[in-house]
Amino acid sequence: MQRGPVDFASAPAAHAAPVRFCAVLLSAALLEAAFFCLTADAADLSFNKDIRPILVENCFACHGADGAARKAELRLDRREDAVEFGAIVPGNVDGTPLLDRIYSEDSEEVMPPPSTKKKLTSQQRDILKQWIASGAAYEPHWSFIPPQRPELPKVKQESWIKNPLDRFILSRLEQENLTPAAEADRRTLAR
């Protein structure tokens, strides 16, 4: 029996789930690979996006806000405390004890300590080094940052706009050299 090419459009639904799973898995792998291939530029580092997650995962359990759990009286969750303690010297990677500790090979000196079963990746260590070199700027937690209204984009077809959100949609359409679809009639909308 001779078989022709497989027509996935008419393939049984049983094949859809494994194909979908493989597509999602491949997409996730490609996204993760792209993330690890990119090196963060010091100017692009954001404390809340890049630094805080590393510190939360590896440091704040012992050097965070909880005074009862705090070790060595060191707080890394607040810039003034970390700098005053001397753990971080903004702009000075050679004189920052925090970097000495995270790059140390000595099991008595390395942070996080081996007993925590946590270990910084080389990428995480490099990100912290870039952050300190660029001045070790802290940002308040995102929940304490008041929302800012973005500036409304300029568009060519002002007549299409019915509300401020339409400006963002139309701006993107114009960037892609697309035109908005005609407004649907009431019958189509009711469907």
Q: What is the pTM of this model?
A: 0.61
* Mean pLDDT computed over every residue of the chain: 87
Instruction: Say what the pLDDT of residue 23 is.
Output: 65
DSSP string for 71-103: STT---SSHHHHHHHTS--TT-STT-HHHHHHH
pLDDT confidence of residue 86? 97
Weakest-pLDDT range from 23-32, 69-78, 147-156: 23-32
Q: Using one digit for the tens of pLDDT, what is the confidence trace for 27-58?
A: 666 555 545 444 445 568 999 999 999 999 99
Q: How far is the C-alpha of 112 from the C-alpha of 16, rounded, in Å?
A: 45
Contact predicate 63/56, CB 8 Å: no
Residue 11: the pLDDT is: 52
Helix (H, G, I), strand (E, B) or coil at 119: coil
